[in-house]
Structure 1
Amino acid sequence: MSRKIIYPAAPPVTVLLDPADDAAVTRAALAAHHPAAGRITVHPTPAASGAALALDILAALGKPTELPGDWGKHGPPAWNIAAAWILALPHTRLTVLRTHLLDEKSWSALLTLRRRTGVHLVAVCHTRRPSAAMRTALRDIEHHTVSTDHDPGDLLAEAPTMPAPRRGAESRWITVPALAYLDSHQDFPACHCTPPPAPRPYVPERAYSIDQLAHRLATRTAYPQLAAALATAVFTGAPLAQLYTVRAAHLDADATTLTLHDRYRSRRPGFVTDCGAFTVPTWAQPFLLAAANLVHLSPRGDDSLFFNGPPRTLMRLTEFAEHCRLRPPQPAPSWPRPRTRRKKKPGPPTIQWYNGINMPGLEYVSYEQWLHSGGWKPAPTRRSTRPGGTGPR
């Protein structure tokens, strides 16, 4: 059964009047912006309307406003992408400044976003009276009006100061062993079995900086599909061909379990894939939730979780991994290195991806080496004490 979204009930719209257009009110609203606490403040660009306002909301969510590729033209609207992220993350209040400048089309899209996400919409109007478009849009919507001349309550309460997380250098390359076979083109036929739980995750989280990795996935694309697909490849070790077989129904409602199928039980060097239900780690759940939400918000007749939409419209997953400065284990450098009198200025490194056929000199990383690099140690095997017994019990 496909996953469906139950729209949460949205509280009444709050219209906050700022008759004097006080700069202190704008600064206080911007200071209340705290996505981690569920509070988003959007300061629209001048003359923002329609999709431009949706891009401003994505920017407030920490997403890039550029939507490269054909998916930006033929894919789901930016409003659906913003709704998918708001539903996946604990956002409860959306404050929009300069709402008296929005036209009817922008108000219609903004109220649709409120209805889909259940977010508390706070519309700041920097005039003594709402505009005609604003009054028309809110005519049949439950709302109440407050003014900055009186106590606005906690609407403009300053966000708590939190120390910035230590994420390391943004430009540093992170070698992720789980991506070693991402570009493999092995065929994975359809399978409809009910798999058992996966025995253990492919890659331990302590093998590399998960916080830095999740931060890059969250801030370097606005497309939930790209972030969710790469996050799944990281915690399962699944190749690209297997990710194409994942459907929205393979993810449970709270995004804690994801089912991967491999009817052939393919064996690759260092890996054994099989049908199994993987436990989704906490850091990856928002990405998969947002991807599932977008599938429901933008139905296209295909319930593919990661590649829903026209073919060849999203950025290649390997290109997105390089954009996030994530790479698989690379071939060892040639030795001895050639001696040169003049040092050349180092350019961007060329990342080599294993395509499942051949890759001379590729550094071999086995599954056991992954576990060992993450601090996992196998349980000691007990030898048989029976006469002549040499193997484990």
Structure 2
Amino acid sequence: MTPTSPAAAPADTLTKWQPTWSPDQTDPGLPPITLITDPHDQAAYITTALAAHNPALGRIAVHPTPLATAPAYLAHDLIRALGKHLPPPDADPPWWTGNADESWRVAVAWTKALGISHYVICRAHRITGRHLEHLVALREHTRIRLTLVVSGPTPAALATILNTVSHRHIGTLEGARRHLETDQQPTSTIPARYGWWHPAPFPAPHDEPRYELPPRPRHPAARPRDTVNSRRAPAQLPAGCTPSTAIALPALTHSEHPSTCHETVAQRIHSRIAHPVHAAAVAIRVLAGYDIDQLSQITIPTPQRPRADLPADLPEWVLPLQDAARIYTELQGHIRTDLPAHLSGTHKPFRLATWERDDVARATETCRLVEAPTRKRPNTPRKSRP
């Protein structure tokens, strides 16, 4: 087991959420873990578990990557089950994908922001002890229901954890079906008009239309130190595609029913960007045209400072992205909950290191978005004084 964390830090100390768990950290008020055992490895058990996948009800079924033992892999499986795609193997992976703690923070942020209330984990007998501890830590933090489907005998690592937490056991297929059919009412807080689980194709088709971002606003201005070594070379567009052939996106809209262009781009962002902060950043670029170097200076409305760069009534499809980005930032320990928003930093939703700005640029390209061409102002001769 992971050693017990040290004594709680003072209230004014910022600490990251760590995906670690030990028996004395278990909350007895959580829903019991459900263990479904399939002693003869019958296909009907896995079929039933996967059929329970229903994002509209807040229930996600996960089939872990076979024989994947790296600590980040199960977090990646959860993220993929939520409809988020990590870059393909031939692409340069974002920095966070190789870090287990960061990957689990991303998984927790999406779990909470998307209103997930129940994870069903297939083939749980193949999960390593480290994976199980991370999964139980996620359960403790998000208070979800957790169902584990095990074929054959219960592994020793799982049995040790179950001995310390509240759990129930189901040993028949009919019992498994009844258990997985109990969630009949929607629990997700995501507006019904926008189904984030409706994916865009991935990888993007070669002939997929490209969209041009709105023009870059003048404000807020990026700080000089923020622009050093942070600009990437423009992406090479496919043959026959130039910014002039891209479809122009309208500026920020508050319509309850987004345009076809915005709906298409929204589905790409929700499907193709796995990191919540990067997804929210690309969404803001789509709506308002901000340059990557401006993102860290953008402000959102607060009770103390209602005037901000972004209005409060953003389109509904952006809200879960904003929520996930905020939750991830809280998990990173960057927000002081005992201070007003304009003092704690929550009025500036994006904290992007230089390498993360490169990730945002790549995510922008993954969604087939191109920057608007810079339009120079015409030179007007000054009138000479008489």
Q: How many Å separate the matches in 2 of 1:95 and 1:299?
A: 29
Which residue of 1 is the match for residue 211 of structure 2?
175
CA distance in 1, matches of 2:352, 2:211: 30
Q: Note the C-alpha offset of 1:211.
A: 2.1
The answer to whether the Cα contact below 8 Å between 1:228 and 1:306 also exists between their aligned partners in 2 is no
Choose from 137, 141, 152 the match for 2:176: 152
Aligned to 1:44, which of 39, 64, 73? 64
**% same residue:** 28
Distance 1:315 1:211, change over 3 A: same
Q: What is the Cα deviation at residue 145 of structure 1?
A: 0.8
| 1:322 corresponds to | 365
Question: Counterpart of 1:294 in structure 2: which amino acid?
Answer: Y
Contact 1:182 1:240 in 2 (8 A): no
Tell me which amino acid in the other structure corresponds to 2:160.
Answer: T
Q: Which residue of the other structure, out of 49, 74, 84, is the alignment partner of 1:63?
A: 84
For the residues of structure 2 that align with 1:225 and 1:188, how far apart are their CA atoms?
20
1:138 alignment partner, one of 162, 175, 192: 162
Counterpart pick for 1:34 among 35, 42, 54: 54
Asked whether the equivalents of residues 46 and 122 of structure 2 are also in contact (C-alpha less than 8 Å), the reply is yes
Alpha-carbon distance change, 72 to 132 in structure 1, aligned in 2, over 3 angstroms: closer
**What's the TM-score once normalised by structure 2's chain length?**
0.65
CA distance in 1: counterparts of 2:115 and 2:295, whole angstroms: 27
State the AA in 2 paired with 1:40: I
**Shift of residue 104, structure 1, vs aligned partner:** 1.6
2:135 maps to which of 96, 110, 120? 110
1:213-261: CA deviation from partner (whole Å, max 9, x where unpaired)? 11100111111111101212333444444421246xx4779xxxx9674
How far off its partner does 1:33 sit? Answer: 1.4
**Matching of residues 209-224 of structure 1 within 5 Å:** 209-224=261-276
Does the CA contact (< 8 Å) of 1:18 and 1:126 recur in 2? yes
Instruction: State which of 99, 120, 127 in structure 1 corresponds to 2:145.
Output: 120
Q: 1:237 to 1:47 in 2, by over 3 A?
A: same
Give the Å deviation of 1:143.
0.9
Q: How many residues align?
A: 298
> Which of these residues, 11, 19, 44, is aligned with residue 24 of structure 1?
44
Deviations 1:198-221 (A, max 9, x none): xxx833555542321111001111
Whole-Å separation in 1 of the counterparts to 2:377 and 2:136:
53
Structure-2 separation of matches of 1:52 and 1:276: 36
1:82, distance to aligned residue in structure 2 (A): 0.7
Secondary structure of the structure 2 residue equivalent to 1:95: strand
1:185-334 correspondence to structure 2 within 5 Å: 186-187=221-222, 202-203=252-253, 205=255, 206-246=258-298, 250=300, 261=308, 277-299=311-333, 307-308=350-351, 310-329=353-372
Which has more radius of gyration? 1
Alpha-carbon distance in structure 2 between the residues aligned to 1:140 and 1:86: 24
Kindly provide the CA deviation profile for residues 34-62 of structure 1, in whole angstroms up to 9, marking residues without a partner as x.
22321111111222332111111111111
Contact 1:181–1:238 (CA under 8 A) maintained in structure 2:
yes
Give 1 or 2: higher helix fraction.
Answer: 2
3-state SS in 1 of match to 2:169: strand
Q: CA deviation at 1:289?
A: 0.7
Any conservation in 1 of the 2:199–2:271 contact (CA below 8 Å)?
no
**Partner SS state of residue 148, structure 2:** strand
